[in-house]
Every structure is written in C-alpha cells, then in structure tokens.
C-alpha cells in the first residue's frame, strides 16, 4: 500500500514538469494566396515558430515571416497528388509540441473553413496540448473581392453559403442538398470543385435554378495570375475549357456576379522578388526604398551560416528571386562560404545580380557570375522601380533612421 502511494505521488509530481516541457501549437490561416493577406497576429507567431507544417495552398513567400533557423515541413494537400494522411499530420503536431517546440500549422485560407482545422484542434486538445487558433481570410470572400464581386448585396443577395464539392465517395449528386441551396436565393461559393464545375451547374439547374443564373469561375484567387471567367450556369459545359488548368479555384453563383463587369484593380507591385545579401544586417537599407513597389523584398545576413536552416534556404531558392543585391565584397565571400557549408545556393540562373561597386562585380566575376554595377541604394531602387522608388538620404540609415558617421578618408 505504501509503495503504491509513493508511486502515485511520484506520478503526480512529474505531471507539472511534463506540462511545462510541452510546447504550443498555433493553427494559423495563411489567407487565400496574396501574402499580404496573412493577419498581423499570424505573421507574429510565424516569427517565433520552431517548426512550421504548411499547406501547398499557402503562398511560399508567407514563410519569409519565419526565423532563419525554422524547420519547415510541407504537408500540403492537392487534388490528385500524394500527401500525408490527416492522422499523420495530427501526430506530427502532437510529437513536435511534446518536444517543447512552438509549432505553427499554416493552413490555406482559414483553418476552420474546409481546412480540417477542427480535426487537428480536437486531436491536440485530446492530448492536453496548449493550442490557439488564428483565423485567416478565406478564398470565398477574398477572391471575389479581388475580382470586384461583392458576395452580399442589399438588393441582390442577403445570404451567402459556402459548399465543398469534394466528397469522400465522389457522389456529388447525393452529397449536397441542391434544392435547399436553390431555395435560399443568395450567393453560393463552391470550394474544391473546379474539376466538376459542369456537374455542379447541371445539379443546380436540375434542382430548379435558372440556367441563366450568373456564375463565375475564379482561378488562382488573389494571386497576380488571378482570372475571373464570368458567364451563366448553362455556359459552363464540359467543353467550355480544360477545367484542370484553373485550379486552385472556386465557383461563385448568384446575381452578385454581374454587379461589376469591368473591374480592373491597379497593381501595387511589378512581380519583382528582390533578395539583399548583407554581411550581418537583418534588414538591408534597400528594403525601405523598394518594399512598396515589389512583390518581395527581403534580406539574409551571410556571416553566420548557423542562423539559417537548410529548410529556410531551400524555401528562398524556391521563391526564385528575380534580383540579388550585394553591397560589399565581404558579403560576397561570406555568402559563398554559406553556400559551401549548407550545400544550397539560392541564386538561380534567371536572377539579375546587382552590386554597389566595381570591386564587388569583379569578385563575383571570379566566381562565374555577371553583375550590374550601380553606385548606391538609391540608384538600385531607381533601376528597379523608376519614379516609384523612394529616394532617401545617404547620411541616414534607411532602416533605423539613425545618422551615419562620416567615413574616414
């Protein structure tokens, strides 16, 4: 009896230690595609994550919010392509949290909108793991907005319904209550159903919806490649297009589709992705001059290879930067040392390399790289953006705002 009591007491004493050692999991919505649509809170937790398990639908540049030594684990789900089973993802989250890690499960759109975030939350809570949900912008709202389509309108649609066209048994006709959808007379958004759009349209018509009901297919929502194909239910036949080329996408049905027909939003960036390679600065002075006019502007400090995990560097490589900027010869030497240590070079053949001096250009030439030589960060910004570049005083640090000490001659 005494021995049993002692064992029970020992177990009770270890429970607080186990809980203290356990990490935390954040279920984070990455938004629909545009990296600027991730929430401020989502970006903050990415910045402190030790491990990130991310979807295929999350824009890779969102991962630039992560710290350099992060572990990145792709667990993305794409129709017709192999991916980890949901149970395996759940277990990965549990295992990493039990190691004491801060874990982010980065999910496309919103974690709880057809993202199986609810299943992950239940699995984590079942193991007593501290978990927090950070909502994200879902595609059914964001993609139509980028196309100038309001999903609700006082005169046209007083309800908004989200439907998944992805079914376990592939029997779409029986898995959706089509008559109920038609009777609501509002806007309907179909997720994960691009390949079966003709069948969806036929089922709606069969249930009593007019074949002339406006509809739109929105492909690659909120990305620079977004396209909206407007028509009616009767237009989207099997011969209309090769629907497989429109994924990821969604189908929007309702009178709101025709609220605006010629909406063309102006683009703030030109698609450029610019990487500044410094010696030890976390943020290059080039960034404030160009960040509002390019798709991506980021920095790596090359002096300490241990600051960056192989996962992070591979992610940078996959982003395929259009421009690489070196500010001094020391950063060149340090960067290629980093490449040697890590076995990864993020400079792709299509990238344009820019330097801030002939000595840097000459050094790169010895390593087999051609570069454009410019004289200052202002010149680089003007080269990239023309009149849209922000000109800043060379006597003030563009990042910190501190005055620079004059160089000794």
pLDDT in tens, 17-66: 444 568 999 999 999 999 999 999 999 999 999 999 999 866 889 999 99
Q: What's the mean pLDDT when you consider all of the chain? A: 90
Domain boundaries, the chain: 22-136, 141-258, 273-387
Average pLDDT over residues 341-357: 96
The one catalytic residue in 24, 77, 107, 273 is: 77
* Tens digit of each residue's pLDDT (9 = 90 or more) over 362-393: 999 999 999 999 999 999 999 999 988 888 88
User: What pLDDT is recorded for position 330?
Assistant: 96
pTM of the model: 0.87
CATH homologous superfamily, domain 141-258:
Tetrapyrrole methylase, C-terminal domain (3.30.950.10)
* Tens digit of each residue's pLDDT (9 = 90 or more) over 234-285: 999 999 999 999 999 999 999 999 999 878 777 777 789 999 999 999 999 9
256 and 187 Cβ atoms separated by less than 8 Å:
yes
Q: Which of 370, 282, 359 has its CA nearest to residue 324?
A: 370
User: What pLDDT is recorded for position 190?
Assistant: 97
Domains 141-258 and 273-387 share a fold: no
Q: Which of 224, 213, 150, 212 has its CA nearest to residue 184?
A: 213
What percent of the chain stands above pLDDT 90? Answer: 76
User: What pLDDT is recorded for position 42?
Assistant: 97
CA–CA dist 298, 287 (Å, integer): 7
Total residue count of the chain as it appears in this document = 409
Of 155-159, 302-306, 353-357, the range with the highest mean pLDDT is 353-357
CATH-assigned architecture of domain 22-136: 3-Layer(aba) Sandwich (3.40)
Q: Where does 273-387 sit in CATH, by number?
A: 3.40.50.10090
CA–CA dist 177, 207 (Å, integer): 9
* Tens digit of each residue's pLDDT (9 = 90 or more) over 59-110: 889 999 999 999 999 998 665 567 899 999 999 999 999 999 999 999 999 9
Average pLDDT over residues 201-215: 96
Residue 339 scores a pLDDT above 80: yes
Residue 1 scores a pLDDT above 90: no
225 and 162 Cβ atoms separated by less than 8 Å:
no
β-pairing, 249-253 vs 71-74, is unpaired
Sheet with 249-253: strands ordered across: 160-164, 187-191, 249-253, 214-219, 227-232
CA–CA dist 219, 377 (Å, integer): 37
Is 110 designated active site?
Answer: no
CA-to-CA dists, residue 45 to 39, 48, 62, angstroms: 10, 5, 12
Is 292 designated active site?
Answer: no
CA–CA dist 96, 105 (Å, integer): 11
* Tens digit of each residue's pLDDT (9 = 90 or more) over 308-319: 999 999 999 999
Please tell me which residue, 172 or 9, carries the higher pLDDT value.
172
* Tens digit of each residue's pLDDT (9 = 90 or more) over 136-147: 999 999 999 999
User: What pLDDT is recorded for position 79?
Assistant: 55
* Burial zone of 264 (CB within 10 Å; 0-12 exposed, 13-18 middle, 19+ buried): exposed
Is 192 designated active site?
Answer: yes
- Residue 92 CB coordination number (10 Å): 17
If you ran DSSP here, which 8-state letter would residue 408 be given? P
What percent of the chain stands above pLDDT 70? Answer: 91
User: How far apart are the two ends of the chain, measured CA to CA in Å?
Assistant: 85
The one catalytic residue in 24, 34, 110, 192 is: 192
CA–CA dist 128, 183 (Å, integer): 43
User: What pLDDT is recorded for position 266?
Assistant: 73
84 and 95 Cβ atoms separated by less than 8 Å:
no
Q: Which of 72, 102, 61, 62 has its CA nearest to residue 312?
A: 72
Average pLDDT over residues 331-343: 96
Residue 164 scores a pLDDT above 80: yes
User: What pLDDT is recorded for position 227?
Assistant: 93
The one catalytic residue in 24, 34, 55, 311 is: 55
Between 117-126 and 86-98, two packed helices, what is the crossing angle to 10 degrees?
Answer: 40
């Amino acid at each position: 009896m005494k021995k049993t009591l002692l064992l029970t007491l020992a177990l009770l004493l270890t429970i607080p230690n186990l809980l203290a050692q356990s990490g935390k999991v954040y279920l984070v919505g990455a938004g629909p595609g545009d990296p600027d649509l991730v929430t401020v809170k989502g970006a903050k937790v990415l910045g402190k994550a030790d491990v990130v398990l991310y979807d295929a639908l999350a824009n890779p540049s969102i991962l630039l919010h992560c710290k350099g030594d992060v572990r990145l684990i792709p667990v993305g789900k794409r129709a017709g392509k192999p991916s980890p089973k949901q149970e395996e993802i759940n277990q990965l989250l549990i295992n990493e949290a039990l190691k004491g890690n801060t874990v982010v499960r980065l999910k496309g759109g919103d974690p709880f909108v057809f993202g199986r975030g609810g299943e992950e939350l239940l699995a984590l809570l079942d193991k007593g793991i501290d978990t927090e949900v950070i909502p994200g912008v879902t595609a059914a709202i964001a993609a139509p907005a980028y196309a100038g389509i309001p999903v609700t309108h006082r005169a046209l649609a007083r309800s908004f319904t989200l439907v998944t066209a992805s079914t376990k048994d592939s029997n779409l006709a029986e898995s959706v209550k089509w008559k109920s959808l038609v009777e609501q007379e509002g806007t309907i958004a179909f997720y994960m159903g691009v390949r079966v759009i003709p069948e969806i349209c036929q089922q709606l018509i069969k249930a009593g919806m007019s074949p002339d009901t406006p509809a739109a297919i929105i492909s690659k929502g909120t990305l620079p490649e977004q396209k909206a194909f407007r028509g009616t239910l009767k237009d989207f036949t099997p011969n209309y297009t090769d629907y497989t080329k429109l994924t990821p996408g969604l189908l929007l049905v309702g009178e709101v589709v025709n609220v605006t027909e010629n909406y063309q939003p102006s683009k703030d960036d030109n698609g450029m992705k610019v990487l500044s390679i410094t010696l030890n600065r976390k943020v290059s002075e080039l960034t404030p001059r160009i960040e509002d006019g390019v798709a991506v502007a980021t920095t790596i400090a090359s002096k300490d290879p241990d600051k960056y995990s192989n996962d992070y560097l591979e992610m940078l490589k996959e982003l395929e930067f259009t421009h690489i900027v070196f500010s001094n010869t020391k950063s060149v030497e340090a960067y290629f040392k980093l490449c040697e240590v890590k076995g990864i070079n993020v400079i792709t053949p299509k990238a344009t390399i820019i330097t801030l001096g002939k000595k840097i250009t000459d050094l790169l030439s010895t390593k087999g790289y051609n570069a454009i030589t410019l004289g200052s960060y202002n010149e680089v910004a003007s080269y990239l953006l023309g009149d849209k570049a922000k000109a800043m005083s060379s006597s003030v640090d563009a990042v910190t705002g501190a005055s620079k000490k004059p160089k000794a001659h």
